[in-house]
Amino acid sequence: MRPLIAGNWKMYKSASEVRFFCEEIQKKIGQLSVDLAIFPQAVHLPLFSTIFTATKQNHFFWGPQNIHYKEMGAFTGELSPLAAKEFGSEMVIIGHSERRQFFGETNTSAAERALGAITFGLQPIFCVGETLEEREANRTMEVIDQQLAPLFSLVKEPSSSFSIAYEPVWAIGTGKTATALQAQEVQQQIRKRIESSWGKENAAKCRILYGGSVKPENAKEILSQPDVDGALVGGASLEVGSFLSIAAAANQ
């Protein structure tokens, strides 16, 4: 399966910094042997479509960090999947732990957004993961099962490029990475859950990404695990050099 290295820019970068990154990466990506995606603040999506219009690579994608599940309506402050698509978005992050922690996203609302994404033709990256307290209480898979349950009941058939990102909350922005073995252990279980709900073929097609303090120094080990099909990178995706080093590690 072709790995996906995705950069979640969260609430970082000014327009001129976005432009600088895009122009730099455009010079350096050449023929990509992995899929690359960037998730900027939604207001910066038009910059991506402008800069990459003439030079869009098949394997370079962008999209928002969240979307509403309806195409339009009286939902102040939300983003329509169709508006995101107007600016070339092909993917979207759904249910990130920061959305859950700070903005009241629930397992059900995340599942609804994933269904909305599929309905309107965006490829979701659906995030799951446990807190440190939950891991220490040996509740990791119980929590992930709860996060996945509404998704499996609402989405009967995933889109061809559905991704699930395992992002242990304790590893996000903390510099603490799950060991390659910890990531593999959980991601193997996630693949089994996909298989029992969506079948063997979809389980083999769904990409399962790892996220949480992925850096050029640890990427290779994590990405070499059989059930790690890519990475969702925060801090280290903000700089072209480190983002591309992670992409290179996925390729080895």
Nearer to ligand 13P, 135 or 198 (CB): 135
As measured in angstroms, the least distance from the Cβ of 163 to ligand 13P is 12
The answer to whether 17 is a known catalytic residue is no
Q: How far is it, in rounded angstroms, from Cα 220 to Cα 96?
A: 24
Q: How far is it, in rounded angstroms, from Cα 130 to Cα 168?
A: 5
125 contacts 158 by C-beta, under 8 angstroms: no
Residue nearest to ligand 13P (CB): 234
Nearer to ligand 13P, 9 or 198 (CB): 9
Sign of CA dihedral 197, 199, 201, 204: positive
Binding site for ligand 13P (CB under 6 A): 8, 96, 167, 172-173, 211-214, 232-236
Nearer to ligand 13P, 198 or 246 (CB): 246
DSSP lists the bridge partners of residue 123 as 91
As measured in angstroms, the least distance from the Cβ of 87 to ligand 13P is 21
Q: Taking the chain, what is the end-to-end CA distance rounded to the nearest angstrom? A: 13
Nearer to ligand 13P, 89 or 198 (CB): 89
Helix residue ranges, H only, 179-230: 180-198, 200-205, 216-223
As measured in angstroms, the least distance from the Cβ of 10 to ligand 13P is 7
DSSP lists the bridge partners of residue 230 as 4
Task: Say which of 105, 112, 134, 167 is annotated catalytic.
Answer: 167
Task: Say which of 44, 68, 96, 112 is annotated catalytic.
Answer: 96
The answer to whether 136 is a known catalytic residue is no
Q: How far apart, in Å, are the Cα atoms of 20 and each of 17, 51, 238, 249?
A: 5, 10, 11, 24
Nearer to ligand 13P, 118 or 172 (CB): 172
73's CB contacts (< 8 A; 6+ apart) are none
As measured in angstroms, the least distance from the Cβ of 204 to ligand 13P is 24
Residues labelled catalytic? 96, 167
